[in-house]
Amino acid sequence: SQKIEQNSEALNIQEGKTATLTCNYTNYSPAYLQWYRQDPGRGPVFLLLIRENEKEKRKERLKVTFDTTLKQSLFHITASQPADSATYLCALDGYGGSQGNLIFGKGTKLSVKP
């Protein structure tokens, strides 16, 4: 069955540094991969989507890479701030990209210390 792993349950970094989160998947070839932010007691908020034919995507201080050979996506937050502290989830399309439902990883809880 499809499996998604986010390698760290928690990541602590200093303000101003770059945070790098990893998402690995197996038994699947997704059409796209998404990253979401989830704050405690709230629903996830969409951040970035990267398609299978894209290597890299950027949005302000965020950067996502997608390596379909390694079956891995990296999510970077540059110049991190305490306000970036949250849980970050990666998600793959569940049924070949057309139906819209998602399979989520467990998430990585990022803490940015001032």
Partner 1 sequence: GAVVSQHPSWVICKSGTSVKIECRSLDFQATTMFWYRQFPKQSLMLMATSNEGSKATYEQGVEKDKFLINHASLTLSTLTVTSAHPEDSSFYICSAPDLTSGSYEQYFGPGTRLTVT
Residue 80 CA to residue 112 CA, distance in Å, equals: 7
Burial (CB count <10 Å: 0-12, 13-18, 19+), residue 66: buried
Establish if 11 lies at the interface with partner 1 (CB under 8 A).
no
Q: Which one of 89, 108, 110, 112 is in contact with partner 1 (CB under 8 A)?
A: 89
Alpha carbon distance 72, 4 (integer Å): 10
Half-sphere exposure (Cβ direction) of 7: Cα atoms closer than 13 Å: 9
Q: Residue 101, interface with partner 1 (CB under 8 A)?
A: yes
53 near partner 1, rule: CB under 8 A = no
C-beta closer to partner 1: residue 13 or 103: 103
Residue 104 touches partner 1, criterion: CB under 8 A: yes
- Residue ranges binding partner 1 (CB under 8 A): 4, 9, 32, 34, 36, 41-46, 49, 89, 91, 93-94, 97, 99-107
